[in-house]
Amino acid sequence: MTKIDDCWGRLDALKTDALSRPILSLFSADPDRAARFSARFDGLLLDYAKTAIDAPVRDALLDLTQCAAVEDRREAMFAGDAINETEGRAVLHTALRAPDDAVIKVEGADVMPTVRQTRARMREFAQALRAGQIAGQGGPITDVVNIGIGGSDLGPAMAVLALAPFHDGPRCHFVSNVDAAHIADTLKELDAGRTLVIVASKTFTTTETMTNAATARDWMGQSVSDPGAQFVALSSATAKAVDFGIAEDRVFGFEDWVGGRYSMWGPIGLALMLAVGPDHFDAFLEGAAAMDAHFRAAPLAENLPVLLALTGLWHRQVCGYASRAVLPYDQRLSRLPAYLQQLEMESNGKRVAMDGTDLSRPSGPIVWGEPGTNGQHAFYQLIHQGTDVVPCEFLIAAEGHEPELAHHHRLLVANCLAQSEALMRGRSLEEARAMMREKGLSGAELERQARHRVFPGNRPSVTLAYDRLTPRRLGQIVALYEHRVFVEGVVLGINSFDQWGVELGKELATALQPLLEGGNADAKDGSTQALIRFLT
Ligand code: F6P
């Protein structure tokens, strides 16, 4: 048995007791539990007191991070070591938000001069476009269409929506799906002469993005004489972008040490910079950089990303809960669950460890969610009374951006807190029977109705509370989740920075295309053949 197996074994042994004890009882046993099982940083409060984690469990989880050498691995990441071992790459998205005076080396060369140069070019471009000095062929740019998918879409789309109160730039639209409906519905509202198209693709080969970009170029070509002049590219493949017809000085590049789903801090964030302006974009980067510094310096027991990761590991790899729900009580974070789906599931949805051996524990969980309070009227039924336990992660701000509608915000907060309380507290059969008695029921009918009204309770949740959703806070929150994924990946021994699992479907889609145009489909399975016949 390795040391890490011992750590998992200790946690398995603690689980039985921990799960048999009502979470609520932990609060009566320890009046300081809320303070002891929470951590603060800057304007954030991470409360994990409403989980079954007690002091011995937390100690064992912290030991797990020691066994997995999380701190060494963390420093290796920040130092630019090639920790993405299957692709032989450094993992340095943190450099994109590092302070201007940072020195970060990859294979001996400081990457920061290029980062600073690109940052300055983005700022200059954004300022000029926002001021109307860079204009379209029909006048100042009013609309920006970001064409990208996965990491080249989800981050900026999520952040642009999240920071809507700070918008004072052009309207931003996001087209990702190869379904023609997406681009057609987006472009039909726009004036081509006053639209900027951003082609966001690290590789500049992704089929969906290239297909949408070509369609946008054709659309623009119908209205302006030089469509390429209203395009910019965000890519690591400058030559391919130039071949597409985008001037080299309109290509904002980044290196292969920036993973797609970790890329919104650099050029992929251009739409956000255009929407909110370079100063707010800088505040967003500063928030993330502050979280990086916290992650590197804070003791593990007070370290927000580490603690959030520990709750994840406890729920998924020890307790065996298959999914986790992300429930932002913040309408403007409504794309956060989708963003985190890619971040977490593409990073830690792996079945083998770095050395190619099978994982001894389940991989990362299924991540899903919707904003509260909407979810309450949809899937919370299952969360409260279904047979599966779904650990929930609530996000809630102390203050909204609509002071004149503060009563809405009070309702939002009340609902958020009520849900985590209800999940923990539940309702016993005795309480349900009393309710039915009050309604005048008796006998078998009382019993039957009462059973439908029982909530098992003891269902864990974590709450991330923040003062207000500002650019800085958003940067911190996203970086918090990135590092959480990192810690979970290191403990599992996974490479969180590759994504081989997306390749097979891409290959088969390419091979299928000719079959939809009459090619011989005999080699396909019966189901696929029948579907081809139906669909063509
Ligand atoms: O298919 C998965 C993926 O490679 C993601 O990892 C990435 O974010 C997305 O596709 C888009 O890739 P690109 O930016 O190269 O177009």
pLDDT tens digit string along 297-319? 999 999 999 999 999 999 999 99
CA nearest ligand 1 atom 5, residue:
150
- Comparing CA positions, the residue from 471, 326, 339, 327 lying closest to residue 401 is 471
Which residues approach ligand 1 with their CB closer than 6 A?
A: 149-152, 201-203, 206, 209, 260-261, 346, 499, 502
Distance (Å, whole) CA 154 – CA 481: 14
The per-residue pLDDT for range 374-413, each reduced to its tens digit, is: 999 999 999 999 999 999 999 999 999 999 999 999 999 9
Question: For ligand 1, what atom is nearest to the CA of residue 268?
Answer: 14
CA 447 / ligand 1 centre spacing (Å): 54
Give the 3-state secondary structure of residue 135.
strand
Question: For ligand 1, what atom is nearest to the CA of residue 506?
Answer: 1
Catalytic residue among 344, 346, 370, 393: 346
Farthest CA pair distance, the chain: 81
Q: What is the DSSP letter of 388?
A: S
Distance (Å, whole) CA 56 – CA 52: 11
Give the 3-state secondary structure of residue 112.
helix
> What pLDDT sits at residue 521?
94
Distance (Å, whole) CA 524 – CA 516: 12
Q: Which two tokens stand for residue 531?
A: 């579907």
Question: For ligand 1, what atom is nearest to the CA of residue 235?
Answer: 14
For 144, phi then psi, to 5°, come to -120, 130
Catalytic residue among 188, 377, 407, 452: 377
Probe target for ligand 1 pocket from 84, 87, 93, 149, with the most ligand atoms within 8 Å of CB: 149
Please state, for a pLDDT cut of 90, what percent of the chain lies above it: 99
CA 201 / ligand 1 centre spacing (Å): 7
The per-residue pLDDT for range 471-493, each reduced to its tens digit, is: 999 999 999 999 999 999 999 99
506 in active site: yes
> What pLDDT sits at residue 2?
78
Q: Give bridge partners of residue 472 from the DSSP assignment.
A: none
Q: What is the DSSP letter of 459?
A: -
> What pLDDT sits at residue 64?
97
Mean of pLDDT values over 49-58: 98
- Give the pLDDT band of residue 181 (cuts 50, 70, 90): very high
- Give the pLDDT band of residue 255 (cuts 50, 70, 90): very high
Give the 3-state secondary structure of residue 196.
strand
CA 396 / ligand 1 centre spacing (Å): 30
Mean of pLDDT values over 444-450: 98
Contact (Cβ atoms closer than 8 angstroms) between residue 364 and residue 348: yes
Give the 3-state secondary structure of residue 462.
strand
Distance (Å, whole) CA 308 – CA 313: 9
377 in active site: yes
Give the 3-state secondary structure of residue 47.
strand
Distance (Å, whole) CA 195 – CA 173: 10
CA nearest ligand 1 atom 13, residue:
201
> What pLDDT sits at residue 1?
65
Probe target for ligand 1 pocket from 502, 504, 508, 510, with the most ligand atoms within 8 Å of CB: 502
Distance (Å, whole) CA 183 – CA 14: 53
CA 496 / ligand 1 centre spacing (Å): 15
**Sign of the Cα pseudo-torsion (179, 184, 187, 192, in order):** positive
pTM of the model: 0.97
Contact (Cβ atoms closer than 8 angstroms) between residue 425 and residue 454: no
- Comparing CA positions, the residue from 122, 58, 85 lying closest to residue 353 is 85
Mean of pLDDT values over 112-121: 98
439 in active site: no
Mean of pLDDT values over 225-243: 97
Catalytic residue among 3, 408, 439, 506: 506
Distance (Å, whole) CA 242 – CA 247: 6
Probe target for ligand 1 pocket from 87, 152, 199, 497, with the most ligand atoms within 8 Å of CB: 152
| Total residue count of the chain as it appears in this document | 536
Mean of pLDDT values over 516-531: 95
Mean of pLDDT values over 271-299: 98
The residue assigned the tokens 């970060």 is 104
> What pLDDT sits at residue 430?
98
Question: For ligand 1, what atom is nearest to the CA of residue 203?
Answer: 15
Distance (Å, whole) CA 175 – CA 149: 8
